[in-house]
Amino acid sequence: MASTSGLLCLLLCCWYVVDETLGTNPGLKIRLSQSGLNYFARVAVQQLSTKVRGASLPDKSGKAWKVEYEVKNMKVISSSSFSCS
C-alpha cells in the first residue's frame, strides 16, 4: 500500500509540473511581415520628420584638428526622407 501511495504522489507531482508548464500563457506573440515592417518604417519617418521640422539645435563650439568652430542659432527648416521599399 505504501508503494501505491508513493506512486500516486509521484504521478500527481508529475501531472502538476506538466500542467503548470504547458498551461502557461506565452504573453504576446507577434508575427511581422516585410510589408508590416515597411509600414512601420514609413510611419516612423513621417513622425520623426514632423517633429524635427522647426526644431532648434543647441549651440556648439569646439576645436577639431587645427580648426576652431562655433555654431549658434541653428534651426531645422526642412528634412528629406528615404524610401522604404
- For the chain, domain boundaries: 53-79
Q: Determine the pLDDT at residue 55.
A: 83
Burial class of residue 11 (count of CB atoms within 10 Å of its CB; 0-12, 13-18, 19+): exposed
Q: Determine the pLDDT at residue 23.
A: 60
Q: Determine the pLDDT at residue 84.
A: 55
Residue 12 CA to residue 83 CA, distance in Å, equals: 59
Tens digit of pLDDT per residue, the chain (85 long)? 445 555 666 666 666 666 666 666 666 677 778 888 888 888 888 888 787 888 888 898 998 888 898 989 888 887 776 655 5
Q: What amino acid is encoded at 9 in this protein?
A: C
